[in-house]
Structure 1
């Protein structure tokens, strides 16, 4: 059977509802020239959820508890995020996407929370274990004054939780913007004016029902439009 690139449609629907024209990027990890040409036509980068990040990307050996890996996807998403952060192009990372942002900036991960840090609470409320994707598993404390707090309008926020990995050491030039009650980092963002936010939960599930989620996606879209407007002239030659 030939290889396929597959992605949950909820990410596309949530982005479209916010006014985006989503473009699924092929995993051309061995063709950086084409990947760069695709990237240059984007106004923002949304990194969705998915399988575990290869621990080799943050200098560790794979533990037995680590789940499925997709090295090609790791290489593509890490490169996209590094390009975007360097240029100030907006980035929104969801679940695995938040972890990609952290690793792209030199951070490391807990490969398996339950076995490596038993003091953490349960975070793996997966549909395969009988939980609905909109199950509100716990609350997070949002750090006042962060970009994320501007969109969530509150100090605490209930979230769903479908992950067994988490941020161990924070990447360079990143700040924590939300934590769980057990101390696990639940959201991060870059310092400065550029929009680069990662959340450990799956807000795309709630885009149609939760106003705060709509504000987060809307903020990402507004930042993408602003970036596109400010960079229209340099991009004209590549069909932007």
Structure 2
């Protein structure tokens, strides 16, 4: 019997509150549950920034790397000063994810990223980001549809994306244009090395990227994990990634 593929998910920092709770690492249950439902074994990766040997041993046990949503990325990672519009960041998460992404690219371990995951993939490949779409992209549509502001839940499909014909993303989604949810205020500015943009929002913001060197590298700017119950196309994003991880394992 073939073993299920092991998918790594890097956690995020939670600061201590003196007298209430210690510092912690955490990650949304939703990503873990969805990956498990598609046959993966999710493996939460701690932010051991001073222990590269342990991180390397963890990576060697992975069949795929999943890049989840979360905090903004430190602008210093792409050579910029931090603007006031940049949100909270997690330097340790940035460091661990960039290290693992580069190992995955080198070994052709499959990568799938969501929201921040697309952004950190781009930065790891030498690209840059808009620290805030609303203030840096002329004529931008709204992208940061948070529940607290718009009284919407995370499944609300609020704008369309156009997908590049002939791309892996187009094959999986089965449509040239489809509606997506949108819960972000940062986005790709300059595309990183060995990446190609394969989906766009109506204002030209990049909504999907893929690798160009032969390995499995795919990332989207929206949150398909919130849409798997209602949209078959979103389920295919996860099933394709888990299948690629299983094939990389070689069972």
Shift of 1:193: 2.7
The SS at the match of 2:44 is coil
Q: Does 1:81 align with 2:96?
A: no
How far apart are the structure 1 equivalents of 2:146 and 2:87?
Answer: 13
Q: Which runs of structure 1 show a deviation greater than 2 angstroms over 4 or more consecutive aligned residues? A: none
Greater percentage in helix: 1
1:60 to 58, 74, 80: 80
**Offset at residue 98 of structure 1 (A):** 0.4
Does 189-198 or 13-22 show the bigger shift? Answer: 189-198
In the TM superposition, what are the counterparts of 1:44-193 in structure 2 within 5 Å? 44-129=64-149, 130-193=151-214
SS state at 2:41 partner: coil
1:196 aligns with 2:217: yes
Q: Greater strand percent: which structure?
A: 2
Whole-angstrom CA distance in 1 between matches of 2:147 and 2:96 = 27
Instruction: Tell which has more relative contact order, 1 or 2 (C-alpha 8 A, sep 6+).
Output: 1
CA distance in structure 2 between the aligned counterparts of 1:85 and 1:57, rounded to whole angstroms:
18
- Whether 2:36 is the aligned partner of 1:25: answer no
Paired with 1:141 and 1:22, the residues of 2 have a C-alpha distance of: 31
Distance 2:202 2:137 in 1: 14
Q: Distance in 2 between matches of 1:127 and 1:44?
A: 31
Deviations 1:153-173 (A, max 9, x none): 110111000000010000011
Q: CA deviation at 1:188?
A: 0.3
Residue 137 of structure 1: CA displacement?
1.1
Deviations 1:95-151 (A, max 9, x none): 000001100100000001111224111100012212210010101000011111111
Structure 1 portions without partners, runs of 5+:
233-240
Range moving further from structure 2, 148-157 or 90-99: 148-157
Is the partner of 2:46 in helix, strand or coil?
coil
In structure 1, what is the Cα distance between the partners aligned to 2:70 and 2:163?
A: 24
Q: 1:208 Cα shift?
A: 2.4
In structure 1, distance between residues paired with 2:132 and 2:222: 16
Superposed CA RMSD: 1.0
Q: Please, what TM-score do these two structures have when normalized by structure 2?
A: 0.89
Q: 2:32 is matched with which residue?
A: 12
Describe the SS at the equivalent of 2:246: helix
